[in-house]
Amino acid sequence: MKAMILAAGFGTRLRPLTEQMPKPLLPIGGVPLIVWNLLLLRRHGFRDVVINLHYLGSMIEQALGDGSRFGLRITYSKERTILGTGGGIKHAEPYFDGEPVLVLNGDTLVELDLDALIAFHWTHRAAATLVLREDNDAAQWGLVEVGLGHRIVRIRGKGLENVGPTVPRMFAGIHILDLRLLQGVPTGAVLSIMDSYIDAIKQRERVMGYDMCGYWSDVGTLERYRQAERDVEAGLIRLEDRQFIAAQ
């Protein structure tokens, strides 16, 4: 299985920090945010990573190179226009050789057992598995409703009806998907991957929810960026692979 990091966005909510630097390169504890995710992937056995690029993408490519100093092989999927999460994955589809892909949002700082996530995905024969969190503000983030057997039945109010009791969750920005869910999406289309997941739910595909309980932060605003910096200083999340960033 290959991995993809979504890194094409403008980082508008983080201005002025992102006026001269793309969001994935903002330092957290002195280490670019995207490097935290690269080393998480490496720690769990990933070797091939695709990164989509648009806004200040050349800076990301220059900073990371071919990935060899992180023990990885990085391929860049360049978007002339922003394609959204679903469109970006579809655009990068040729790099995945038809296999399922693990996708991480480029602005997510997380500690997660990816081996357990992948095992869950295979065990449940899922078409897609979304990493979820319990959060009192789940509705604000975009409510994900999970029914019996960890199956997601609605996303943002769209999906199946009359499914019995559900539990509210929020999407943590990490997911595994079978690329057949994008078969009907034309290359170059601009769309959210959630649209494809909602369609799959309506078609009774196995779209599963995997609950996480470890550290997570969406480093998408100035307030959350500063909080992530404080969390690193407090030791709430640690980088275990510093030997791979000595040349940063």
Q: Set out the domains of the chain in order of their start, with CATH numbers.
A: 2-236 (3.90.550.10)
Could you tell me if 55 and 7 are in contact, meaning their C-beta atoms sit under 8 angstroms apart?
no
Tell me the average pLDDT across 121-135.
96
Over residues 17-50, the pLDDT tens digits come to 788 889 999 999 889 999 999 999 999 999 999 9
* The pLDDT value given to residue 228: 93
Please, which pLDDT band fits residue 246 given cuts at 50, 70 and 90? very low
pLDDT level of residue 247 (50, 70, 90 thresholds): very low
Torsion of CA 196, 199, 201, 204, to 10 degrees: -130
Residue 59, pLDDT score:
95
Which residue's structure tokens are 């991957």? Answer: 193
Task: Return the CA Rg of the chain.
Answer: 17
pLDDT > 90: percent of the chain: 74
pTM, two decimals, is 0.92
